[in-house]
C-alpha cells in the first residue's frame, strides 16, 4: 500500500434525506423527524499544497471548478459554491485546511427535495474532518455546513438536513430538536411492519435561494418578535389559539399555526413509532400536508396532485417532504400497495399533462461516514 496516499487522501460519503414529518420547523427552534436514505454523495478528497481547490462532479451539467482554498462568500458560484462553502466555514472557524482535489459522485437526485446540497456539503465536511484529523463532532460539522449553506451559498436553510445526513442510522428516523441541537434515533422498522415509504419526485424544481423560503422564515421571525419570544418553539406549551389570537395579520396567523401544529404532529409521530405502531402515523402525515398546502402555502399543483392520487389509491398517509415549491412527496403504504400507489400517481400526472414523476422507495439508512479502505 502507498503509505503517503493513505494519509493524504480520503473518501467519505453522506446520504440524502427524506423528512418524514416536521417541515419548516427547524428554523423556528422546533422538531423534525428526518431519515437518511440509501442514496448518497461520495467525495474523494486529496490534499494539495498549492492553496488551490480543484473540484469536479459526475453530476450532469457541472463544470470542473478551480478556486483558492481561502475564497470568500461570493467568489465561487454554481455547484462548486457548496464545496467552497465548506472550506470557507472550516477555515473561518479556525481550521487551517489546505487545498485539495475533490471528486464528487452522487446518487441523490438534485433539486428533488432530498437535500442533495447537504449530502454534498456533509460528504466534503466529514471527509476533510477525517483527512486532517480535525476531531469535530457531528453537531459541530452540521453547524459548519449550515454556515456554508447560509452564508456562502446564500440559502437560508436550517440545520435539519445536515443533522439527518450526519446522524442517520439504519432502521431509525432521527428526532431533531433544533433548539437543543440534538438528534435522537427513533426506531422505525417499516419493512418489519409490512410498510413501504414511497417517494415521488415531481421533478418540479425548487429553489431555496428564491424568495418563498426566506419570506416564510421572515414571517415566523416577525411573529416571534411580536409575541415576545425568541423562536416559535417557546410558545409550544401555551394554548395555540391564545397565541394566534394575539396576531392580527391573517397570513401570519396561518404561518404560525402551521409551525405550532407541525411540532405537535412530530411528537405524536414519535410517540406512535416508539410504541411500535408505525402503521398508524398516516393521518399525521396527511394532516401535515394539508397544513403546508393551506396554512404555509408552500406546495405546488404537482405535489398536491401526487398526494391526492396516492391517498385515493390507498396510501395510509402522504405529504410533501422538503422545503416546498416543488420537490418530492412521500406516501406511506402497505408494502402490498406500493406499486398500485406509484401507478396511480403516474396516471394522475399523465392526466394533468405533467411530465412523468420519478417514483422509488426509501428506507432509513446509515448516515455520513468514511470509507474504511481509505481510513
Residues that bind ligand ADP (CB under 6 A): 41, 57, 59, 62, 79, 82, 104, 106, 110-117, 120, 208
Least distance to ligand ADP, CB of residue 325, Å: 11
Contacted entry of Mg ion, ligand ADP, none for residue 364, CB cut-off 5 to 8 Å set by kind: none
Number of C-alpha atoms within 13 angstroms, CB side, residue 127?
30
DSSP one-letter code for 357: P
Complex with ligand ADP: residue 155 or 260, whichever CB lies closer: 155
Given the rule CB under 5 A, which of 58-66, 112-120, 245-253, 309-317 is the region that contacts Mg ion? 112-120
3-state DSSP assignment of residue 349: helix
Cβ neighbours of 181 (radius 10 Å): 14
Complex with ligand ADP: residue 79 or 167, whichever CB lies closer: 79
106 binds Mg ion (CB under 5 A): no
Least distance to ligand ADP, CB of residue 265, Å: 22
Contacted entry of Mg ion, ligand ADP, none for residue 202, CB cut-off 5 to 8 Å set by kind: none
* Residue in the shown chain whose Cβ atom is closest to Mg ion: 117
Complex with ligand ADP: residue 81 or 188, whichever CB lies closer: 81
Least distance to ligand ADP, CB of residue 371, Å: 17
**Whether 348 contacts 149, CB under 8 Å:** no
Complex with ligand ADP: residue 11 or 110, whichever CB lies closer: 110
**Whether 164 contacts 171, CB under 8 Å:** no
3-state DSSP assignment of residue 168: coil
User: Can you tell me which of 25, 41, 110, 117 binds Mg ion, judged by CB under 5 A?
Assistant: 117
Q: How far apart are CA 134 and CA 17, in angstroms?
A: 25
Residues 6+ positions from 314 with CB-CB distance below 8 Å:
333, 334, 337, 340, 341
DSSP string, 118-154: HHHHHHHHHHHHHHTT----HHHHHHHHHHIIIIII-
**Could you confirm whether 249 is annotated as catalytic?**
no
Of 350, 309, 348, 347, whose CA–CA distance to 331 is shortest?
309
Give ∠ CA 228-232-236 in degrees, rounded to 5: 105
Least distance to Mg ion, CB of residue 371, Å: 24
Complex with ligand ADP: residue 106 or 202, whichever CB lies closer: 106
3-state DSSP assignment of residue 61: coil
Given the rule CB under 5 A, which of 113-121, 123-131, 134-142, 220-228 is the region that contacts Mg ion? 113-121
Contacted entry of Mg ion, ligand ADP, none for residue 348, CB cut-off 5 to 8 Å set by kind: none
Of 161, 227, 210, whose CA–CA distance to 325 is shortest?
210
Contacted entry of ligand ADP, Mg ion, none for residue 106, CB cut-off 5 to 8 Å set by kind: ligand ADP
Please name the residue that has the C-alpha cell 418540479.
204
DSSP string, 26-51: GGGT-EE-EEEEEEEEEEEEEE-SSS
Catalytic pick from 130, 161, 177, 201?
161
Contacted entry of Mg ion, ligand ADP, none for residue 82, CB cut-off 5 to 8 Å set by kind: ligand ADP
3-state DSSP assignment of residue 70: coil
DSSP one-letter code for 148: I
Complex with ligand ADP: residue 116 or 129, whichever CB lies closer: 116
328 binds Mg ion (CB under 5 A): no
Please name the residue that has the C-alpha cell 459548519.
144
Least distance to ligand ADP, CB of residue 103, Å: 10
Complex with Mg ion: residue 166 or 284, whichever CB lies closer: 166
Of 368, 340, 375, whose CA–CA distance to 13 is shortest?
368
Q: How far apart are CA 56 and CA 370, in angstroms?
A: 19
Least distance to ligand ADP, CB of residue 140, Å: 21
Least distance to ligand ADP, CB of residue 205, Å: 8
Contacted entry of ligand ADP, Mg ion, none for residue 291, CB cut-off 5 to 8 Å set by kind: none
- Any idea which residues carry the catalytic annotation? 161
Contact set with Mg ion (CB under 5 A)? 115, 117
Amino acid at each position: 500500500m502507498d503509505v503517503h496516499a493513505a494519509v493524504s487522501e480520503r473518501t467519505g460519503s453522506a446520504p440524502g434525506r427524506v423528512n418524514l414529518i416536521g417541515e419548516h420547523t427547524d428554523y423556528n427552534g422546533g422538531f423534525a423527524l428526518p431519515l437518511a436514505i440509501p442514496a448518497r454523495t461520495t467525495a474523494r478528497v486529496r490534499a494539495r499544497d498549492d492553496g488551490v481547490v480543484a473540484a469536479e462532479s459526475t453530476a450532469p451539467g457541472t463544470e470542473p471548478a478551480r478556486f483558492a482554498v481561502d475564497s470568500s462568500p461570493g467568489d465561487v458560484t454554481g455547484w462548486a459554491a457548496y464545496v467552497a462553502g465548506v472550506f470557507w466555514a472550516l477555515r473561518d472557524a479556525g481550521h487551517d485546511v489546505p487545498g485539495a482535489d475533490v471528486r464528487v459522485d452522487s446518487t441523490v437526485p438534485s433539486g428533488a427535495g432530498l437535500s442533495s446540497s447537504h449530502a454534498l456539503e456533509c460528504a466534503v465536511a466529514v471527509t476533510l474532518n477525517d483527512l486532517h484529523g480535525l476531531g469535530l463532532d457531528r453537531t459541530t460539522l452540521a453547524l459548519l455546513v449550515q454556515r456554508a449553506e447560509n452564508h456562502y451559498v446564500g440559502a437560508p436553510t436550517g440545520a435539519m438536513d445536515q443533522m439527518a445526513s450526519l446522524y442517520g442510522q439504519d432502521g431509525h428516523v432521527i428526532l431533531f430538536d433544533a433548539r437543543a441541537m440534538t438528534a435522537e434515533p427513533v426506531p422505525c422498522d417499516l419493512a418489519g411492519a409490512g410498510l413501504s415509504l414511497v417517494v415521488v419526485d415531481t421533478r418540479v424544481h425548487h429553489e431555496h435561494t428564491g424568495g418563498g423560503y426566506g419570506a416564510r422564515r421572515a414571517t415566523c421571525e416577525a411573529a416571534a418578535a411580536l409575541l415576545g419570544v425568541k423562536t416559535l418553539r417557546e410558545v409550544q406549551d401555551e394554548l395555540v389559539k391564545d397565541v394566534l389570537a394575539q396576531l392580527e395579520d391573517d397570513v401570519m396567523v396561518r404561518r404560525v399555526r402551521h409551525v405550532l401544529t407541525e411540532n405537535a404532529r412530530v411528537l405524536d409521530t414519535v410517540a406512535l413509532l416508539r410504541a411500535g405502531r408505525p402503521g398508524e402515523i398516516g393521518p399525521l402525515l396527511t394532516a401535515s400536508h394539508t397544513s403546508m398546502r393551506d396554512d404555509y402555502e408552500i406546495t405546488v399543483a404537482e405535489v398536491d396532485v401526487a398526494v391526492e392520487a396516492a391517498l385515493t389509491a390507498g396510501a395510509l398517509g402522504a405529504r410533501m417532504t422538503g422545503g416546498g415549491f416543488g420537490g418530492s412527496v412521500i406516501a406511506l403504504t402497505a408494502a402490498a400497495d406500493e406499486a398500485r400507489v406509484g401507478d396511480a400517481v403516474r396516471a394522475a400526472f399523465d392526466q394533468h399533462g405533467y411530465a412523468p414523476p420519478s417514483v422509488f422507495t426509501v428506507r432509513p439508512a446509515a448516515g455520513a461516514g468514511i470509507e474504511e479502505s481509505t481510513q
